[in-house]
């Protein structure tokens, strides 16, 4: 545990380094009106903070800057009380989820000046909202499934004989009546497609269309929305080119990035990973701020920002929390209306 004065000095070093990017010296700290002790006492406390691994300095005569552990102590114990700040103004009401993800990512990156990443709800958690069965050509039919998340799936079926247009119209009405509101991964979905009360021709026709629904959740991939990659590359100083290559590869391999973000799904509040706390080597010189969003009973996706360890944590944490809250309200309304 640090003394009150040591915590004050640590906070001053973090604030000063975040603002100017240069190590903070003991003379500057002693001259600060909030610091009520002399330079020798300041130097002694800075040495203690350095011994505890919270501060470091490039050489003997230079000032100090925070280590990853120093940032962690700052985030856990010294963050200022949240101040009233304008909402992100995501204007999400009544938009489809896909558009909501894009708006959130763009707005979050703009507000924080960092790389923003939002993971969309898994398609397997969605429900059927509407079904279209369209005859494109005499022997070609298309099934369109619109889900509660706004996702649109299209599947083409080709037949050896001309399609009965009346049977296709009947199938559209039947499928909307029987499937709307069911989850894509629900067992009831299969049962309603295999209705033994129907005639033989209707059963055979529905059986042929079943893959458009039963395979939808199985083949679905989680979607990621990214905004601000140029900000990240231009603003972050990488130790070497290989480190930059690792990060770019991770952003391209979205599956590995999804794995990093999933840890936020189980967190009750904003998750902060600083420097070496990140398991992925590509993120060891960076900081991740993430939060889950979703329905009251469970999270469905994550909102996050990625940037240098020297980031404005109060702004990043507040913005991520705000975005996650707004997306949760929006997602809840969408799923309730489905």
Same domain, 315 and 228: yes
Choose among 118, 126, 23, 9: nearest CA to 74: 9
CATH of the domain at 177: 3.30.390.60
Q: Examine the domain organization and report whether 28 and 106 are in the same domain.
A: no
> Residue 260 maps to which CATH number?
3.30.450.40
Is residue 42 assigned to a domain?
yes
Whether 193 maps to a domain, the answer reads yes
pLDDT, position 93: 44
Distance CA 79, CA 279 (A): 24
Counting the structural domains of the chain, the total is 3
Q: How far is CA 325 from CA 22, 100, 268, 295, in A?
A: 35, 13, 12, 10
Three-state DSSP at 66 gives strand
Q: At what angle do helices 165-179 and 200-209 cross, to 10 degrees?
A: 70
Residue 198 counted as domain residue: yes
Place of tokens 């603002």: 19
- Whether residue 279 is contained in a domain is answered as yes
Examine the domain organization and report whether 202 and 287 are in the same domain: no
Residue 278 tokens read as 């990140």
pLDDT number for residue 176: 92
Predicted local distance difference test score (pLDDT) of residue 237: 54
Task: Tell me how far apart the alpha carbons of residues 103 and 164 are, in angstroms, rounded to a whole number.
Answer: 43
Q: Tell me, yes or no, whether 135 and 270 share the same domain.
A: no
* Residue whose entry in the numeric block shows the structure tokens 């993800």: 101
Which CATH number goes with the domain that contains 19?
A: 1.10.10.10
Closest to 63 measured CA to CA, from 89, 30, 98: 30
The mean pLDDT values, 10 residues at a time, for the chain of 338 residues are: 93 93 92 92 94 88 89 92 61 62 91 90 74 91 80 85 93 91 71 82 90 68 77 62 71 74 80 91 88 87 91 93 91 71
What CA–CA distance (Å, rounded) separates 320 from 314? 10
| pLDDT for position 94 | 44
- Whether 89 is covered by a domain: the verdict is no
Look up the pTM and report it. 0.72
Residue 88 lies in a domain: no
DSSP 113: T
Residues spanned by the domain of 152: 124-219
Residues in the chain: 338
Q: How many CB atoms lie within 10 A of CB 59?
A: 6
Tell me if 213 is assigned to some domain: yes
Of 78, 112, 142, which marks where a domain is finished?
78
Residues 26 and 37 in one domain: yes
């Amino acid at each position: 545990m640090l003394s009150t004065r040591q915590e004050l000095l640590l906070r001053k070093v973090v604030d000063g380094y975040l603002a100017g990017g240069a190590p903070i010296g003991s003379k500057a700290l002693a001259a600060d009106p909030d610091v009520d002790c002399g330079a020798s006492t300041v130097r002694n406390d800075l040495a203690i903070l350095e011994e505890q691994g919270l501060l470091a300095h490039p050489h003997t005569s230079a000032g100090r800057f925070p280590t990853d552990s120093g940032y962690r102590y700052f985030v856990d114990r010294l963050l200022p009380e949240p101040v009233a700040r304008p909402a992100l103004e995501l204007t999400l009401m009544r938009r489809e989820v896909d558009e909501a993800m894009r708006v959130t990512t763009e707005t979050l990156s703009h507000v924080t000046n960092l790389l923003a990443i939002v993971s969309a709800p898994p398609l397997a958690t969605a429900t059927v909202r509407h079904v279209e069965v369209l005859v494109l050509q005499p022997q070609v039919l298309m099934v369109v499934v619109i889900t509660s998340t706004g996702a649109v799936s299209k599947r083409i079926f080709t037949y050896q004989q001309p399609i009965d247009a009346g049977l296709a119209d009947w199938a559209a009405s039947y499928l909307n009546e029987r499937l709307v509101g069911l989850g894509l991964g629900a067992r009831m979905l299969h049962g309603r497609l295999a209705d033994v009360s129907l005639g033989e021709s209707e059963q055979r026709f529905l059986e042929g269309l079943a893959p458009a629904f039963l395979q939808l959740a199985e083949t679905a991939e989680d979607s990621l929305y990214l905004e601000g990659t140029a900000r990240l590359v231009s603003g972050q100083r990488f130790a070497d080119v290989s480190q930059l290559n690792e990060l770019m590869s991770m952003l391209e391999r979205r599956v590995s990035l999804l794995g990093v973000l999933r840890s936020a799904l189980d967190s009750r509040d904003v998750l902060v990973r600083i420097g070496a706390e990140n398991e992925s080597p590509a993120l060891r010189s960076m900081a991740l701020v993430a939060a889950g969003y979703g329905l009251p009973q469970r999270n469905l996706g994550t909102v996050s920002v990625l940037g240098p360890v020297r980031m404005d944590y109060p702004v990043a944490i507040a913005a991520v929390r705000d975005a996650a809250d707004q997306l949760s309200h929006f997602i809840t309304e969408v799923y309730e209306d489905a």
